Structure formats: structure tokens, C-alpha cells
Amino acid sequence: MTTALPDPALDQLFRTARSHYHYDATPVTDADLRAIWDLAKMGPTSANMLPARIVWCTTDDAKRRLADCASSGNVDKILHAPVTAIVGTDLDFPDHLPTLFPPADARSWYVGNSALIETAGLRNSSLQAAYVILAARALGFDTGPMSGFDNDKVDAAFFAGTNIRSNLIMSLGHGDPAALHPRLPRPEFEAYNTVA
């Protein structure tokens, strides 16, 4: 039977891990991005739909184009991070299901139902964003997720001519612990959980 990971691993993944918005100068390489994807892609999505499409902004030009779409408080966070990733949701994900989910005609569950496509796409793209956050942490990186940007502007700048819609963005690198604010509160089990 599988057992719990040792405490230092649980700390690195959850307990002492923090969102970061200031990073040291250690570069993040393309090989690092591939390693993160190769872990995160293993996480489960409905009918293995894997709707997330990721643009990893690594160049000054790409970060500038993204920063131009962001709320003022996020501009410097984007420009000064080694990488900022845009996680989008491909609303054409049903067309990939014959390949991704061979056991059934899963495409037929979605085509023609745009409300279901949007809800399932957002749900599963967000699951994948969380897998990326935790895969990055598992590999020793820090992330800084952000929702403060103009989705339409990002879609026009990075996803023109596609049915990909931006979901969230996140910076990536090796965080500077000295720049952290105190951790925000987390509720006890009773507050948000029920055992039935």
C-alpha cells in the first residue's frame, strides 16, 4: 500500500510553499518547462480532455506583450519573473478526444453544447493549472498565479485565430523568501467541510 510522503516533501508541496512574485536570478530553462509539463500532464481530467494550452513567456518581448494586458499591479511581476506562463483553455478540445480518449465517442458528449464545453473546459483547464503549480513545486520551483489581466486582450495578443481562451497566468522561477508577505489565513476543516 502506498504511504504518505515524508514531511519535507509535504512542506515543499503545500505547508511551507508560497506564491512568489519576486525571484532570484536563477534561469528557468526550456528543459525545466518540459519537465514541469511532463509531470503535470499526468494529472487527471474529464475523459482525458487535457484542454489547457500553455504559452511560456520567456523573452522580454513576450513578457512585455503580456504585461501590456495586465492590471497595473501585475506588470512588474510579469516583467521581472524569469518566465510567466499563460494557461489557456482550448474550446476545440472535443476534436482531440478521439485521440485522447479512445474507449468511447467522448467527442459526441460535447459537440454542439457550447455551455458544457465552456464549463468543462474551464474546470479541467483549471485542474491542469493546479497540476502545473504543484509539478513546479515538486521540481523545486516557485509559482505566482495571477488573475488580474484583461482576458480579451491576452486572447487577441496570444491566441488570435484560435478558440483558445486565457484562463490564468502564473510567474515561475526560484522565489525570494525575503520578499514574502505573511501568509493569509486558512480555515479549519469545520468551516468548509461536512462529513455526511
Site for a second copy in 33-72 (CB under 8 A): 33-34, 37-44, 46, 48, 50, 52-59, 62
Question: Cβ distance 54 to 88 under 8 Å?
Answer: yes
Q: Which of 76, 95, 102, 180 binds a second copy (CB under 8 A)?
A: 102
Q: Which is nearer to a second copy, 26 or 76 (CB)?
A: 26
DSSP bridge partners of 143? 172
Q: How far is the CB of 69 from a second copy (least distance, A)?
A: 13
Is residue 79 a contact point for a second copy (CB under 8 A)?
Answer: no
Is residue 98 a contact point for a second copy (CB under 8 A)?
Answer: no
* Cα distances (angstroms) measured from residue 177 to each of 16, 19, 33, 82, 127: 11, 10, 22, 16, 26
Site size toward a second copy (CB under 8 A) is 82
Q: Which of 95, 113, 114, 130 binds a second copy (CB under 8 A)?
A: 130
Is residue 5 a contact point for a second copy (CB under 8 A)?
Answer: yes
167: three-class secondary structure by DSSP: strand
Q: Which of 133, 154, 169, 172 binds a second copy (CB under 8 A)?
A: 133
**In whole angstroms, what separates CA 86 from the centre of its chain?**
8
Q: Which is nearer to a second copy, 75 or 154 (CB)?
A: 154
Q: Which is nearer to a second copy, 12 or 163 (CB)?
A: 12
Number of Cβ within a 10 Å radius of residue 37:
17
Phi, psi of 98 (to 5 degrees): -60, -30
Question: What is the separation, in whole angstroms, between the first and last Cα of the chain?
Answer: 26
Binding mask of the shown chain, residues 136 to 175, with x at each position contacting a second copy by CB under 8 A: -xxxxxxx-x-x----------x--------xx-----x-
Q: How far is the CB of 57 from a second copy (least distance, A)?
A: 5
Which amino acid appears at position 183 of this protein? R
Is residue 193 a contact point for a second copy (CB under 8 A)?
Answer: yes
Q: How far is the CB of 67 from a second copy (least distance, A)?
A: 13
> Rounded to whole angstroms, how far apart are CA atoms 133 and 145?
8
Question: In sequence order, what are the residues at sequence separation of 6 or more whose Cβ sits closer than 8 angstroms to the Cβ of residue 114?
Answer: 91
